[in-house]
Amino acid sequence: MSEPILSIRGLTKTYKNGPRALDSVDLDIRPGEIFALLGPNGAGKTTLIGAVCGLVRPTGGTITAFGQDLSRDWRKARARIGLVPQELATDMFETVWRAIAYSQGLFGRPYDPARLEEILRSLSLWDKKDAQIRALSGGMKRRVLIAKALAHEPELLFLDEPTAGVDVELRKDMWQQIAALKERGVTIILTTHYIEEAEEMADRVGIIRGGRILMVDEKRAMMERLGTTEAVITLAAPLAAIPPALAGFPVEIGADGMQLIYRGGNGQGGGRAQVAQLTQALTRADIAYTSLDIHDSSLEDIFVGLLGEKEAA
C-alpha cells in the first residue's frame, strides 16, 4: 500500500479551561481517498481539522503530511492542504473574484486568472464574480468557500460539514463537485452530520466520539460487518406456527400468520445469504409465498447503534 498522505499519531488537544477535545487520536489517510469523519456534536471533528490546518495548537502527538512533520515544516505542507470551513471567515464586502484571488496567493501561488475562471465556472459562480459576498445566498456563499479552498490547488482537502443547511439540490450538486475533485486525484476528508453523505461519497469512514476514534473501516466492510438484514416474506396461506423446517432461522410470524419476518446477519453480515437459504427451505417445505421484501440497515442505523452501545457501556 502507498504511504499515507496524512499520518496522525497520539494527537491530543485539551483546551484551556475546556474539555479534552482530542484524546490520543491515531489516523492514516490514504492518497486519493474520500474519508468521512462521522461523530455527534462536540466529538472533536473541527478540532482535528484545525490541528492539521494550523488553526489549533495540539497539546500532544504528531501530524505528518506528505512525509513532512507539520510541527517542523508547517508552511510547505500547509500550502498543499485546502480547508473548506463551516463558516465564512472572509470579508463580506469583498467581491467573489478578489476573495478567491487572495486565497490563491495566500500560500505562494502566482496569480493565475485563467485558473480562477475555471474554478468559478466549475462551481457556477462565474456570473457572481463581481458580486459582493454579503449579497450572495447561503448556498452561493458555501460555493465561495469551496472556490477559496481550491484556489491554491490543494492535494489534500478538508471539508467541514460541506452541506450543512443547504437544500437537497445543492447538496447533490456539491457531491458531484467533490466526486470531480477526487477524479482529479485530490484526497478528501469530510466531516458530516448527514450520514447519507458518507454513505454516498466515502471510501472509508471513521467514527469519532468524545475525542476518540471508535472505529475506522472501509465503508462497505463496515456496512457488511455491522449491518443487519430484515426480510418480510408474504405467504400464500397463513401459518399458525413456525414449521420445523425453519427452525434455526431467526424468523417470526406476523400479520395474522400471513408474513414471515426475518431479522438476521446481526453484526456478522451474511444476512442476505441466509435469506436465500430461508427461501430454499420454504420451497423444500412446500410453503408458497407471494412476495419478498429485503432491506439492509444503512450506515445511519449502524452509526446510531454504535453510539448508543458505547453510551451504555
Ligand X SMILES: Nc1ncnc2c1ncn2[C@@H]1O[C@H](COP(=O)(O)OP(=O)(O)OP(=O)(O)O)[C@@H](O)[C@H]1O
Task: State the binding string over 38-67 for ligand X (x if CB under 6 A, else -).
Answer: -x-xxxxxxx--------------------
In 10 A of CB 73, how many CB atoms?
Answer: 13
Task: Indicate whether 244 belongs to the interface with ligand X (CB under 6 A).
Answer: no
CB of 43 to ligand X, least distance (A): 4
Task: Indicate whether 19 belongs to the interface with ligand X (CB under 6 A).
Answer: yes
Per-residue DSSP letter, 83:
E
Measured in whole angstroms, the distance separating CA 292 from the mean position of its chain's CA atoms is 32
CB of 159 to ligand X, least distance (A): 13
Spell out the residues 6+ positions from residue 25 whose beta carbon is closer than 8 angstroms to its own: 8, 10, 11, 12, 44, 48, 61, 208, 211, 212, 213
Diameter of the chain by CA atoms?
A: 78
Among 34-42, 103-111, 253-261, 268-276, which window interacts with ligand X (CB under 6 A)?
A: 34-42
Q: Which residues pair with 38 in a beta bridge?
A: 192, 207
Which CB, 21 or 178, lies closer to ligand X? 21
Spell out the residues 6+ positions from residue 45 whose beta carbon is closer than 8 angstroms to its own: 37, 39, 160, 191, 208
CB of 166 to ligand X, least distance (A): 16
Which CB, 47 or 297, lies closer to ligand X? 47
Distance (Å, rounded) from C-alpha 132 to C-alpha 94? 5
# binding residues, ligand X (CB under 6 A): 12
CB of 308 to ligand X, least distance (A): 18
3-state secondary structure of 4: coil
Task: Indicate whether 90 belongs to the interface with ligand X (CB under 6 A).
Answer: no
CB of 36 to ligand X, least distance (A): 13
Q: Are strands 187-192 and 81-84 parallel, antiparallel or unpaired?
A: unpaired
Which CB, 194 or 249, lies closer to ligand X? 194
Task: Indicate whether 21 belongs to the interface with ligand X (CB under 6 A).
Answer: yes
Task: Indicate whether 138 belongs to the interface with ligand X (CB under 6 A).
Answer: no
Interaction site with ligand X (CB under 6 A): 15, 18-19, 21, 39, 41-47
